[in-house]
Every structure is written in structure tokens, then in C-alpha cells.
């Protein structure tokens, strides 16, 4: 069997899954990786044992390879793929092929002229549940297909996190190109190309001035072999990706998210008995697939079986089919032509989205230099947006430094706001952002990582970098916003104040809390050494408009309906409204009493987890449940998981009971120091707290 040498272009999250699938394919061998960020390319190469790394496109084009996987963001697929298409090598592109039919047509023409074999990764076409359905239909087990109903109800983490700078939110059609191509790939594979499309869209939401997001669409598709009713909804509460095929002799149902497949068929008996036996048979199929999924998961955890989750299996099936075709000198079914048709269907459906009148791009206001200038680092996030609004109300001029400054809330386009794109870990970016600034608010956490060392480096080093830049720029005061997670809060007898030190046993805490504690101490050390005025603020459980109400301080949510509490859920929790948090940040910029002090920001309304979830259930009309647990029980479960991972050869730290106890937040907070020194008056009225923290979610019903 010939082995094809593979070049990886782009090292984002999807590239890691491609690499895993390629490692499992005997026809493929990764020989090089290219990314314009060489550090990311080197990290990727180490993870997947790839010998060659390059950060120059000309160097990548000149390499010796047979297949290139273009895994860059969709808006640069065309530019990324073009040099390789002209070489006549085999090209694999992550869906969608391009962002328009014009781009797709150009790439197809170039590939055909060069004799390039092409493929698009449409992993949903190889979902196990879908393949089972397709197999039975093709075998004639349910008779001729008459109608297909497809429901795509998908959560969207970028939407929940309000990361509207993501490419998929820049144009209305992009959400379809990013998400709808998944179910459409199965529809076209199953009943042929879409010949006619009639679509209706639900009302959109303006996420930024002139930018509208449409999350719901209903379409009737006339395909070559059968009509299809297609329901598309992203940001849904209950996930479902279900294809229901109506045939002359039964119904076949596949759910790709849960990897379940079952049929509804007749039996030989009279209707009364037939209803029972048919239901029993369908239930048996559901039980069998559910049990099989659980067993496969357990075996994969202890390394007795390879990874078997439906997402990975779909990816592996797609890669395997592509390489089977490539080694035979053929084009796979999902080639550029196939992918281009899906893009065209998305464009047809997008015509159902009403167009807004064209607006001029927001113009940055000329700043009033007579007002104090505040730099807010990480200011486009949840707390940052409210802080910027409050600063503007207090007549400050505001400069905002953030990695993404696209599709922001309207508050960022007001007079007095200056937007600067940059990375908190980049010294040059920080130096430019701090030029001419008197005050700095650091809301950036620096990022996460796969292990503690990566998290520590991101959080601690970025916090120190901000201090260093502020010292060089001769900033008057730095307000560092940390978190109460840096404290130990697991003793009900403790009274926590602003002077309470970070957890002395932080090595027994989760990586985030441990890094937060180290970051706070590092900031104190640097600022005290160089006499930079510093105020550290540690917000509690921040709630309000612009974030999810399903706060991790309540417990952990495997899904939104059930909160698995950190304890029995009866103790008071340290809530704080985001508006109150923003007020405290503003006050900390000028308070003479606050210099070189630390404060916890916890409001006066301190509902228990049970009380909060009950109010949220009433407001949203949803049957939300709190599952009470003892910390010791949670710890025992974590120890069991640790044992399974250890047997499977996966190294991980031994679970800490102390960390679970601290997550329960049973310690009592006394924020008198913050209220006095900052002249801070958080909301004390329960009804007003409810209005700002809970009632705002009534509109989501």
C-alpha cells in the first residue's frame, strides 16, 4: 500500500482531529506542518511527532508532499489553498470549500486545469448513526423513501460566550456556511442535489451596529429523489440533530448528536398487539445503541478500544474515504464540486434573511484630551463591556485593548472610545496601548491551556507583562481584576475580607484557581518593587445582562436543565451584579484609600444555589433542577474517574477534596472594607437583584 506524505496547513482545533484521524490511517504520514505562527506550528509538531515545521508559505509550497490539508479559517480558505491547487497535488479542505460560489468556482477551475484531486471534509456524511440509516434504506428494509424531515437544533459555544468577532457572525450567510453544511451534506448524500429551495427565517438580532445574526430558519428542499423539510436552529437549549426518513414500510430515525438509530415498523399482528410490539422493538434498538455507546466510551477510557465518540468516528470515516479514493487515483464523493453545491444551497437559504439598509462603518471619535484616559485590557468581554459603559458615564476617555475588535456591542462605537487590536501577551502591543494612558484596568485572564504549566504561563506571565508595561509607561494606577477563586472558601467558619490571603495550599486546587492565586501574588510583587499604585479586585459570582445565567458557582451543568451542585445548595453564595462590579472598578481608579489594597466584590443579595435556580426556573418557564450532593461523594466520583484514566495510561493529578469543598463557597464574605474604601454601594434590594440577574432572561422563552 502506498503511503501519502501529508502537509498540514493551519493548527487550530480542527487540525488536531484531522491529525488524530491521519495517525490512524495507514495510507497517510504527516511530514510537515505550516502555520504563520511558528510557535503554534512547533507545538503542533511536537504533539503529533511531525518532523518538519515552517512558518513561510513559499517554504511550505516547496516541500516534498503528496496531500495538503488546508485547515485555516473559512474566510482564508481561498488564499490558503491557491498556491497548492496550482501544484497539481491532492488538496483536502475543511468545510466549507469557500465563502461564496464565486470562490468555489475559481478554485474548481484552477484545480481542474492543474489536474488536482480535491476533497472537502464533510464528516457528518460518515456519522455512525447516519451510516446505519443509509445502509438499511439502501437495503430496501423500509421500502421506497417518500419524505425526509431533518431537525438541526445545535448549541453554539461562541454564541453563548458572545464571541461575535468569530467569522461565522460577520455575514448572515456565514452561520449557514459554518453550521448548516453539516446536515446539508447528509441530505444531499441521501436524496441528491437540491433543485429548489424555499426558506423562511425567524427575526434576527442586531449583535453589533449594522450586523444582524439569524439563528433560526425553516426550509423546504426539493431534492432529486425526495422532498425534505429542514429545520435549522443554532443556540438551542436542547440539542438534537435528527434525520427522520418516511418510507412506505416504516420510519427510520437517526440522531447524530447522541449516536442513536432506530426504526418504527409494523409487525404481522393486529393493530393492538402491533402497537405494543413495534414500540418494544424500537425501544430495544434505542437501548442497544445507548448501551453500546456507553460501553465503547468506557473501553476507550481504559485504552482497551480506540476513541469511539461519534464526532471522531465521523472525522475518521471522512479521512479514510478520502485517502481510499486518493490512493486509487480518484476523487472522493465529497470533492470541491460537492462542497460547492452545499455552499450554493446555503446562499439560496440566506436569501430568506432580510437585508439591513447599508450603513457607514463606525468612525472612531476624536477624543477629548482634557478627560483622564483609561486603558481597559480585555475590555470587550462581559465585565469589560459594562465597565466601559460606566467609565463613559463618568466622563473618562477609554481605550480598549482586545484580540478581537470586530462585531462589538454598540457601546464600543460611542464618542470617547478608542479600539486597539492586540494581545496581552505581546509586549509591543501593550506598550502601544499604554502610550498616553494615566489609568489601567486589567480584565484579561491571558488564556487557558492543556495543563497547569500552560495555564500558569498564560495567566501569570500576562499579568506581569501588564505590570511591566504600566511601569515603563509611568501609569498612575493599575486595577487588576482577579477572582475569589484564588481564595480557599471551603470552611463555613471562615469570614473572608479583602485582606484574606490567597489559598496557602493552592497546589491542591484546580489549575485555574491555582494560577489566579499566583497571578495576584506576582502582580503585588512587581508593583511593590517599582512603587506602582495597585488595586486588586476579586469579583464573586458575576451575573447580569450579557452572560449565561447557568453559573459554574452553582455546580456543574452536564446540560442546562440539571445543576449538579457542589454541596447541598443551602449556603449563601457570593453573587455580585455586573453593574455593581463595573462601579467598583471605576471607584478603584481614584480612591486614595484603595492604594495597594485588595477587595472582594460581593453584593448584599446572597441567594443560595437552590433559591437562585428556583427563581431562574420561574423566569424562564423551564423545569430546572438542583441535584444536591455531598462534597465527599463528588470527590469519590472524581477518584474513580482518576483510577480509570490511570489504568488507561493517562496521567492526571489526584483529585483534591479541598478543591471541591472550596467550590461550594460556604465561607462568609464581609465586604465592609470595599464598601467603605471604594464608596461602593452594591444592590441590596432582592427585587432589583432579581430584575438585573434573573428577569432579563424572560425574553428567551
Query: Over the stretch 20-59, which tens digit does the pLDDT of each residue have?
Result: 999 999 999 999 999 998 888 999 999 999 999 998 899 9
pLDDT at 173: 94
Q: Domain range for residue 60?
A: 4-122
- Residues 138-161: what's their mean pLDDT? 92
Q: Name the strand (E) or helix (H) holding 619.
A: helix 609-620
Q: How far apart are CA 104 and CA 339, in angstroms?
A: 8
The answer to whether position 323 is within a domain reads no
- Going from the C-alpha of 149 to that of each of 183, 227, 351, 572, the distances in angstroms are 11, 9, 21, 47
pLDDT at 455: 87
Pair (635, 499) in one structural domain:
yes
- Give me the number of domains the chain comprises: 4
280-308, pLDDT tens digit by residue? 898 998 999 989 888 888 787 777 778 88
Q: How far apart are CA 514 and CA 395, in angstroms?
A: 37
The answer to whether position 566 is within a domain reads yes
Q: Which of 347-351, 360-364, 442-446, 484-488 has the lowest mean pLDDT?
A: 360-364
The answer to whether position 393 is within a domain reads yes
Residues 6+ apart with CB under 8 A from 681: 583, 675
The answer to whether position 498 is within a domain reads yes
Q: Give the bridge partners for 329, in sequence order.
A: none
Q: Give the bridge partners for 216, in sequence order.
A: 233
192-201, pLDDT tens digit by residue? 999 999 999 9
Contact yes or no for 198/219 (Cβ under 8 A): yes
Pair (112, 139) in one structural domain:
no
Give residue 365's pLDDT band: very low, low, confident or very high (50, 70, 90): very low
- Going from the C-alpha of 111 to that of each of 77, 102, 117, 214, 587, the distances in angstroms are 14, 14, 7, 34, 61
Q: How far apart are CA 323 and CA 318, in angstroms?
A: 9
Dihedral (C-alpha) 377, 380, 381, 387: value to the nearest 10 degrees?
A: 70
**Selection from 584, 600, 466, 483 nearest residue 523 by Cα:** 466
Question: 34-41 contacts: CB < 8 A, separation 24 or more?
Answer: 34/7, 34/8, 34/9, 34/10, 34/59, 34/60, 35/9, 35/10, 35/11, 37/11, 40/11, 41/11
Q: How far apart are CA 103 and CA 82, in angstroms?
A: 11
Coil vs helix vs strand at 227: strand
pLDDT at 203: 86
Strands 205-208 vs 211-213: parallel, antiparallel or unpaired: antiparallel
Contact yes or no for 550/560 (Cβ under 8 A): yes
Q: How far apart are CA 227 and CA 145, in angstroms?
A: 10
Q: Name the strand (E) or helix (H) holding 32.
A: strand 28-34
Q: How far apart are CA 540 and CA 487, in angstroms?
A: 11
The CATH number of residue 286's host domain is 3.30.360.10
Q: Name the strand (E) or helix (H) holding 338.
A: helix 336-350
Pair (130, 239) in one structural domain:
yes
Give alpha helix (H) positions in 532-685: 578-588, 609-620, 631-647, 657-663, 672-677
Pair (482, 435) in one structural domain:
no
Last residue of a domain, one of 69, 94, 122: 122
Contact yes or no for 692/615 (Cβ under 8 A): no
The answer to whether position 482 is within a domain reads yes
The CATH number of residue 673's host domain is 3.40.50.720
Q: Is 13 exposed, middle or buried (0-12, 13-18, 19+ CB in 10 A)?
A: exposed
Coil vs helix vs strand at 235: coil
Pair (346, 374) in one structural domain:
no
Q: Quick one: cell of 498? A: 479583602
Asked whether residue 362 carries a pLDDT value surpassing 70, the answer given is: no
Pair (174, 253) in one structural domain:
yes
Q: Give the bridge partners for 98, in sequence order.
A: none
Asked whether residue 65 carries a pLDDT value surpassing 60, the answer given is: yes
Asked whether residue 700 carries a pLDDT value surpassing 90, the answer given is: no
The answer to whether position 487 is within a domain reads yes
pLDDT at 225: 97
- Going from the C-alpha of 389 to that of each of 61, 271, 385, 546, the distances in angstroms are 48, 66, 6, 13
Pair (244, 376) in one structural domain:
no
Pair (146, 269) in one structural domain:
yes
Coil vs helix vs strand at 50: coil
pLDDT at 157: 84
The answer to whether position 320 is within a domain reads no
**Selection from 388, 598, 386, 600 nearest residue 478 by Cα:** 598
pLDDT at 369: 65
596-635, pLDDT tens digit by residue? 999 999 999 999 999 999 999 999 999 999 999 999 999 9
Asked whether residue 360 carries a pLDDT value surpassing 60, the answer given is: no
Coil vs helix vs strand at 97: coil
Largest Cα–Cα distance of the chain, in whole Å? 88
Q: How far apart are CA 214 and CA 206, in angstroms?
A: 9
Asked whether residue 590 carries a pLDDT value surpassing 70, the answer given is: yes
Q: How far apart are CA 543 and CA 581, in angstroms?
A: 10
Q: Which of 144-158, 215-229, 261-275 has the lowest mean pLDDT?
A: 261-275
- For residue 96, say if its preceding peptide bond is cis, omega within 30 degrees of 0: yes
- Residues 329-345: what's their mean pLDDT? 95
Q: How far apart are CA 292 and CA 157, in angstroms?
A: 28
Last residue of a domain, one of 77, 98, 122: 122
Place of cell 434576527: 204
The answer to whether position 618 is within a domain reads yes
pLDDT at 251: 97
Dihedral (C-alpha) 443, 448, 453, 456: value to the nearest 10 degrees?
A: 10
Pair (63, 150) in one structural domain:
no
Q: How far apart are CA 281 and CA 141, in angstroms?
A: 15
494-535, pLDDT tens digit by residue? 999 999 999 999 999 999 999 999 999 999 999 999 999 999
Q: Quick one: cell of 102? A: 464565486
Pair (429, 538) in one structural domain:
no
Place of cell 464526532: 311
pLDDT at 357: 57
DSSP-derived letter for residue 471 is H
Last residue of a domain, one of 122, 141, 163: 122
Pair (581, 606) in one structural domain:
yes
Pair (302, 412) in one structural domain:
no
Q: Quick one: cell of 445? A: 485572564
Asked whether residue 1 carries a pLDDT value surpassing 60, the answer given is: no
Contact yes or no for 526/467 (Cβ under 8 A): yes
Amino acid at each position: 500500500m502506498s503511503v501519502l506524505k501529508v502537509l498540514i496547513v493551519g493548527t487550530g482545533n480542527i487540525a488536531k482531529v484531522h491529525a488524530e484521524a491521519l495517525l490512524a490511517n495507514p495510507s497517510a504520514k504527516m511530514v510537515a506542518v505550516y502555520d504563520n505562527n511558528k510557535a503554534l506550528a512547533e507545538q503542533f509538531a511536537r504533539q503529533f511527532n511531525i518532523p518538519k515545521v515552517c512558518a513561510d508559505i513559499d517554504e511550505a509550497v516547496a516541500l516534498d508532499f503528496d496531500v495538503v490539508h488546508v485547515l485555516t479559517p473559512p474566510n482564508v480558505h481561498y488564499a490558503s489553498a491557491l498556491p497548492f491547487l496550482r501544484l497539481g497535488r491532492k488538496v483536502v479542505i475543511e468545510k466549507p470549500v469557500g465563502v461564496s460560489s464565486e470562490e468555489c468556482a475559481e478554485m474548481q477551475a484552477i484545480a481542474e486545469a492543474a489536474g488536482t484531486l480535491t476533497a472537502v471534509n464533510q464528516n457528518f456524511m460518515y456519522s455512525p448513526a447516519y451510516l446505519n440509516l443509509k445502509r438499511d434504506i439502501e437495503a430496501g428494509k423500509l421500502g421506497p423513501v417518500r419524505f425526509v424531515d431533518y431537525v438541526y437544533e445545535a448549541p453554539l459555544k461562541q454564541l453563548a460566550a458572545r464571541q461575535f468577532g468569530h467569522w461565522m457572525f460577520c455575514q448572515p450567510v456565514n452561520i449557514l456556511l459554518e453550521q448548516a453544511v453539516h446536515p446539508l451534506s447528509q441530505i444531499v448524500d441521501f436524496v441528491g442535489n437540491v433543485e429548489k429551495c424555499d426558506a423562511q427565517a425567524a427575526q434576527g438580532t442586531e449583535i453589533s451596529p449594522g450586523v444582524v445574526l439569524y439563528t433560526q430558519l425553516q426550509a423546504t428542499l426539493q431534492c432529486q429523489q425526495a422532498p425534505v423539510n429542514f429545520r435549522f436552529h443554532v443556540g438551542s437549549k436542547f440539542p438534537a440533530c435528527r434525520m427522520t426518513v418516511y418510507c412506505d414500510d416504516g420510519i427510520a430515525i437517526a440522531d447524530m448528536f447522541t449516536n442513536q438509530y432506530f426504526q418504527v415498523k409494523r409487525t404481522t399482528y393486529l393493530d393492538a398487539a402491533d402497537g405494543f410490539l413495534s414500540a418494544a422493538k424500537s425501544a430495544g434498538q434505542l437501548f442497544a445503541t445507548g448501551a453500546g455507546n456507553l460501553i465503547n466510551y468506557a473501553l476507550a477510557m481504559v485504552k482497551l478500544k480506540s476513541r469511539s465518540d461519534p464526532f471522531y468516528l465521523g472525522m475518521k470515516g471522512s479521512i479514510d474515504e478520502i485517502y481510499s479514493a486518493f490512493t486509487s487515483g480518484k476523487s472522493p464523493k465529497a470533492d470541491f464540486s460537492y462542497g460547492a453545491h452545499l455552499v450554493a444551497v446555503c446562499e439560496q437559504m440566506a436569501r430568506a434573511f432580510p437585508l439591513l439598509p447599508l450603513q457607514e462603518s463606525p468612525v472612531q471619535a476624536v477624543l477629548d484630551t482634557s478627560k483622564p484616559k483609561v486603558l481597559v485590557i480585555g475590555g470587550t468581554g462581559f465585565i469589560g463591556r459594562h465597565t466601559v459603559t460606566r467609565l463613559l458615564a463618568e466622563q473618562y476617555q477609554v481605550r480598549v485593548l482586545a484580540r478581537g475588535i470586530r462585531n462589538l456591542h454598540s457601546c464600543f462605537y460611542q464618542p470617547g472610545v478608542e479600539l486597539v487590536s492586540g494581545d496581552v501577551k505581546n509586549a509591543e502591543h501593550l506598550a502601544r496601548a499604554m502610550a498616553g494612558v494615566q489609568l489601567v484596568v486589567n480584565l484579561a485572564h491571558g488564556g487557558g491551556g492543556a495543563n497547569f504549566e500552560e495555564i500558569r504561563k498564560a495567566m501569570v506571565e500576562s499579568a506581569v507583562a501588564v505590570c511591566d508595561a504600566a511601569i515603563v509607561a509611568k501609569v498612575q494606577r493599575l486595577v487588576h481584576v482577579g477572582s475569589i477563586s484564588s481564595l480557599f472558601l471551603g470552611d463555613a467558619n471562615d469570614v473572608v475580607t479583602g485582606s484574606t490571603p490567597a489559598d496557602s495550599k493552592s497546589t491542591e486546587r484546580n489549575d485555574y484557581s491555582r494560577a489566579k492565586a499566583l497571578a495576584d501574588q506576582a502582580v503585588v510583587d512587581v508593583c511593590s518593587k517599582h512603587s506602582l499604585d495597585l488595586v486588586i479586585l476579586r469579583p464573586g459570582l458575576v451575573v447580569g445582562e450579557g452572560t449565561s445565567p447557568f453559573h459554574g458557582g452553582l455546580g456543574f451543568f452536564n446540560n442546562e436543565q440539571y445543576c449538579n451542585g457542589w454541596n447541598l445548595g443551602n449556603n449563601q453564595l457570593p453573587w455580585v451584579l455586573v453593574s455593581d462590579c463595573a462601579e467598583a472598578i471605576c471607584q478603584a481608579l481614584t480612591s486614595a484609600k484603595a492604594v495597594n489594597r485588595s477587595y472582594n466584590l460581593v453584593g448584599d443579595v446572597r441567594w443560595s444555589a437552590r433559591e437562585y435556580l428556583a427563581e431562574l426556573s420561574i423566569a424562564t418557564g423551564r423545569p430546572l433542577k438542583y441535584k444536591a450532593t455531598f462534597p465527599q461523594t463528588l470527590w469519590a466520583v472524581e477518584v474513580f474517574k482518576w483510577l480509570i484514566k490511570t489504568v488507561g495510561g493517562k496521567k492526571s493529578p489526584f483529585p483534591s477534596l479541598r478543591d471541591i469543598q472550596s467550590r461550594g463557597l460556604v465561607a462568609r464574605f464581609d465586604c465592609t472594607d470595599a464598601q467603605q474604601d471604594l464608596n461602593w454601594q452594591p444592590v441590596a434590594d432582592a427585587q432589583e437583584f432579581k430584575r438585573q440577574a434573573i428577569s432579563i432572561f424572560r425574553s428567551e422563552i
